[in-house]
Amino acid sequence: MTEFELILDLHKNSERQGPGSEKETLKALEFIKLQNNRELKVADIGCGTGGQTITLAQNINGKITAIDLFPEFLDELNEKSMTFGLTDKIATLEKSMEELPFSAEELDIIWAEGAIYNIGFEYGVKSWKKYLKQGGYLALSEITWITNSRPKEIEEFWVQEYPEIDTASKKITLLEENGFTLAGYFNLSKESWIETYYKPMEARFESFLIRNNNSKLARKVVEDNKAEIRLYQKYKDYYSYGFYIARKNEQ
Ligand SMILES: C[S@@+](CC[C@H](N)C(=O)[O-])C[C@H]1O[C@@H](n2cnc3c(N)ncnc32)[C@H](O)[C@@H]1O
């Protein structure tokens, strides 16, 4: 297996592939004020195994297209949809977030938890906007600095991982410059990093290594993730995922 395939293997049996929680998906949803007497059209982009997709489907009157590049994740989401009796509300689609199949102003909500970074926040906001109805909503979680300055070690780590990392005020300005009005913002709690993401990941390390014959590359994948967890433990007061909920301005 390549390193990339190993990373997929580590993540595929998990509830979430990034920080987040049911509680915080629901908190973000509360900022969205849309009439609930008609069926909404929603896209959940970079849905992974669909931790948030299930919560959305259980709480929205509408249909959700859950999109991810990797069928391994979508297969798990399809299984969950069946278990929860939500197959009439969730349709999965194997597709890149750069090639969305929607028409102009088709969607009421675009949801993306921990995923827009794959194409960059600014490019994503600009290129997805056309698919939203006027008055429709974007709900995005994105790695965000929560202080104005920070130690060099963590600054260098994240700037190298994701050069677009910035403060919430900069991201909100970018949303405003692109025709959105902020409807809500909050930082994900530390619990959402540790309890629902890092701890379950740590619990999978051993079986992951056994499954992959304790190969050098599998050990590297585990070590890289352990290093990221150590950095989070050390510097968690300086960054989080910001949850941005923004409404497309009406013209
Ligand atoms: C950090 S995970 C977040 C998954 C899920 N939303 C969650 O919070 O648990 C990012 C997701 O984006 C997906 N992804 C990466 N690049 C993509 C692309 N170009 N198009 C669609 N999905 C992509 C990955 O497969 C992964 O499931």
- Domain residue limits, the chain: 20-189+238-248
Nearest to 120 by CA among 147, 148, 142: 142
Q: Which CATH architecture group holds 20-189+238-248?
A: 3-Layer(aba) Sandwich (3.40)
Distance 210 CA to ligand 1 centre (A): 25
Question: In this structure, which residue's CA is closest to atom 13 in ligand 1?
Answer: 46
Digit-coded pLDDT (tens) for 206-228: 999 999 999 999 999 999 999 99
**Ligand 1 contact via 70 beta carbon (within 6 Å):** yes
Does ligand 1 have an atom closer than 6 angstroms to the CB of 97? yes
- Helices marked H in the chain — which ranges? 3-12, 22-29, 51-59, 71-83, 121-128, 152-161, 168-177, 190-193, 199-211, 216-235
Amino acid at 12: K
pLDDT in the model for residue 202? 96
> Which pLDDT tens digit goes with each residue over 83-134?
999 999 999 999 999 999 999 999 999 999 999 999 999 999 999 999 999 9
Token digits for 134? 């006027």
**Mean pLDDT computed over 60-64:** 96
Res. 35 pLDDT band, cuts 50 70 90: confident
34 φ/ψ angles, rounded to the nearest 5 degrees: -130, 150
Cβ(59) to ligand 1 under 6 A? no
199: helix, strand or coil? helix
Q: How would residue 188 be classed by pLDDT, with cut points 50, 70 and 90? A: very high
* Residue 123 phi, psi (nearest 5): -65, -40
Q: Is the C-beta atom of 40 inside 6 A of ligand 1?
A: no
Alpha-carbon dihedral 123, 175, 16, 156, rounded to 10 degrees: 70
Is residue 37 over pLDDT 90? no
Rounded distance between C-alpha atoms, residue 94 and residue 96, angstroms: 7
Using DSSP bridges, classify how beta strands 90-94 and 62-68 pair: parallel, antiparallel or unpaired: parallel
Average pLDDT for the chain: 96
The reported pTM is 0.96
Q: What 3-state DSSP class applies to 132?
A: strand
pLDDT of 36 reads: 73
Q: Indicate which atom in ligand 1 lies nearest the CA of residue 19.
A: 8
Lowest mean pLDDT among 34-38, 80-84, 197-201, 237-241: 34-38
How sure is the predictor about 20, in pLDDT bands with cuts at 50, 70 and 90?
very high
Separation of CA 38 and ligand 1 centre (Å) = 29
List all residues 6 or more positions away from 9 whose beta carbon is below 8 Å from its beta carbon.
Answer: 1, 208, 211, 212
- Residue 15's closest CA among 188, 204, 186? 204
pLDDT of residue 124: 98
Report helix, strand or coil for 230: helix
Considering only CA atoms, which of 43, 69, 167, 174 is closest in space to residue 121? 174
